Structure 1
Amino acid sequence: MVEKIAVVTGASKGLGLAIVKGLCQRFDGIVYLTARSEKNGLEAVKKLNDLGLKPSFHQLDISDDKSVKIFADFIKTKHSGFDVLVNNAAILEWDEVYPTYEAAKRNIDINYRSLLTIEKYLFPLLRDGARVVNISSACGHLSNLKKQSWIQTLQSPDLTREQINDFVVEYLESVKNGTFDKNDFADEGKHAEHRVSKIALTALTRVQQREYADRNISINAVHPGHMKTEMAQGGGEVEPEQSAELVLYLILDASQKLKGTFMWHNRTLIDWDDAEADFACKDLW
């Protein structure tokens, strides 16, 4: 019998580490803790080893095409495929509420464009019936946008990656050429770069699900809640272990029929298309 394989990105701390911990306790198979820093990754593995848990480690820089390919080649050679993927790795630079072009691009490259690289190399290795969870946030709901042309495009049931990429580029160009308009976003456009990257991630989730449905692969996005992590300015409200339970639910307990959804931290399924709803990030600074 083929052994099941789970992969979690950005897993050396916070939510990623909590997800790996939960999988090691409940998943019947090998769990790969991946991280950009080998040092941090191995330290995280040791923490779990001290608890009697035995994750495997592999270095993975999701923003580096070569690193993702090396990891994919490793999975293909050693396991031929895998069954669970949690795209957790992300950044948010709190000191730039209205970021420079370089900072905005950095956020989008890691939080969104890296998923395209992961899809290119790792999705072909997903086994039939696999489960993928993309970690979004309240910033990933469509109500973070106010510009109607963006909203209408992203609401399309026939949305394409090219249209998502165009949306991202249009925002980045506005920052680059000085035409950025706070009124295009909720909450005066604070950290618009993070809103754009997470909206793009959530939109991509829907596109991916539509394309991989014939293999019974479940791909969902989640808002894990305002966690007490390094990324949470001023401290979050919930522990990473609590948020990890939502992700573990989607991986281990939820119906395989749950596909292409946007799940709130309380396990409510949110209508992502409702741009008039009150789900946008507030006071994000």
Structure 2
Amino acid sequence: MAEKVAVVTGANKGLGFAVVKGLCQKFDGVVYLTARNEERGLQAVKILTEAGLKPQFHQLDVSDKESVRNFANYIKNIHGGLDVLVNNAAILEWDEVYPTYEAAKRNIDVNYKSLLIVEEYLYPVLRDGARVVNVSSACGHLSNLKNKKWIETFLGPDLSVDKINKFVDEYLNSVKNGTFDKNDFADEGKHAEHRVSKIALTALTMVQQAKYKDRNISINAAHPGHIQTDMAQGGGAVSPDDAAQVILYLIFDVSPKVRGTFMWHNKKLIDWYDAESDFACKGIW
């Protein structure tokens, strides 16, 4: 039987690093810590190795097609397939509460559009029974939206990647042409770019699960809680190790029949489609 393989993106620090550590302690197989910056990634691997763990490193820039393609070919050629994929790589320029078009586009390219690249090249090498976790946040719940047209799009029975992309593009165009409306979002539209990218990511999780329903693959999204990192500022934060628990729970403990869901940091399944609820991200900036 082929050795099992787990991959965590954006894992040189914070949540991704903690997930790699947890996987190394429990996963029966090879664990890849990946990062865009090779030097930082290798340093992270060194820290874990000195702690008695045995992660492997591979450079991976999820927003670069060539990088993702090369990594997918490597996994296929060396291991034959992939069993666990944690899509964690993300950015947030937290000092830009109402970002420029360029900053908003950077956020969405990394946090959402990279998942389309990952799907194109890495999903074909997922093995039977594979588990995928897309790391979302409180910003990824539908209650972050107040624009009724957008909400109706996500509540529709025929949600698709094209419709998610249209939502993303409409937001970006509003920032570019100066028509952005704070009232379209919760919390006065603060960090709307992050809300858009994480809502799109969570919606994509549902679409992907439906798309791959005939394959024995579980794809879920999770909000790991408010983590004190470079991306998030403020009080009430949990440690990356604590935040990693919900990710590890989805990988090791939940039934494989749990698919296409949105799990809160307390390991409770949340109704992502309840736009009238109070799960929106507020006041953590």
Letter in 1 for 2:59: Q
Other structure's SS at 2:183 match: helix
Q: Deviations over 1:188-229 (max 9, x none)?
A: 000000000000000000000001121120000000000121
Letter in 2 for 1:20: V
> What residue number does 2:116 align with?
116
> What residue number does 1:275 align with?
275
Letter in 2 for 1:16: G
Residue 284 of structure 1: CA displacement? 4.2
Query: What is the CA–CA distance in structure 1 between the aligned matches of 2:156 and 2:88, rounded to whole Å?
Result: 26
* Corresponding position: 1:151 with 2:151: yes
Letter in 1 for 2:275: A
> What residue number does 1:6 align with?
6
> What residue number does 1:100 align with?
100
Letter in 1 for 2:242: Q
Residue 233 of structure 1: CA displacement? 1.2
* Corresponding position: 1:131 with 2:125: no
Query: What is the CA–CA distance in structure 2 between the aligned matches of 1:283 and 1:250, rounded to whole Å?
Result: 28
Query: What is the CA–CA distance in structure 2 between the aligned matches of 1:263 and 1:272, rounded to whole Å?
Result: 9
Given that residues 229 and 235 in structure 1 are in contact (C-alpha distance below 8 angstroms), is that contact kept between their aligned partners in structure 2? no
**Within-5 A mapping of 1:33-44:** 33-44=33-44
Query: What is the CA–CA distance in structure 2 between the aligned matches of 1:180 and 1:271, rounded to whole Å?
Result: 28
Which structure 1 segments of 5+ residues have no match?
none
Query: What is the CA–CA distance in structure 2 between the aligned matches of 1:256 and 1:250, rounded to whole Å?
Result: 9
Other structure's SS at 1:33 match: strand
Query: What is the CA–CA distance in structure 2 between the aligned matches of 1:23 and 1:272, rounded to whole Å?
Result: 27
Letter in 1 for 2:193: E
> What residue number does 1:233 align with?
233
Letter in 2 for 1:98: Y
* Corresponding position: 1:172 with 2:172: yes
Residue 2 of structure 1: CA displacement? 0.9
Other structure's SS at 2:51 match: coil
Instruction: Check 1:9–1:154 CA distance in 2 against 1; reply closer, same or farther (3 A cut).
Output: same
Given that residues 191 and 284 in structure 1 are in contact (C-alpha distance below 8 angstroms), is that contact kept between their aligned partners in structure 2? no
> How many equivalent residue pairs?
285
> What residue number does 2:58 align with?
58
Other structure's SS at 1:58 match: strand
Query: What is the CA–CA distance in structure 1 between the aligned matches of 2:235 and 2:17, rounded to whole Å?
Result: 18
Q: Deviations over 1:40-88 (max 9, x none)?
A: 0000000000110000100000111111111011011111111000000
Query: What is the CA–CA distance in structure 2 between the aligned matches of 1:96 and 1:171, rounded to whole Å?
Result: 16
TM-score by length of 2: 0.99
How much identity, in percent, do the aligned residues show? 73
Residue 231 of structure 1: CA displacement? 1.2
Query: What is the CA–CA distance in structure 2 between the aligned matches of 1:204 and 1:116, rounded to whole Å?
Result: 9
Q: Deviations over 1:116-159 (max 9, x none)?
A: 00000000000111000000000000000000010000112321
Query: What is the CA–CA distance in structure 1 between the aligned matches of 2:78 and 2:157, rounded to whole Å?
Result: 38
Residue 103 of structure 1: CA displacement? 0.3
Given that residues 24 and 54 in structure 1 are in contact (C-alpha distance below 8 angstroms), is that contact kept between their aligned partners in structure 2? yes
TM-score by length of 1: 0.99
Query: What is the CA–CA distance in structure 2 between the aligned matches of 1:235 and 1:212, rounded to whole Å?
Result: 39
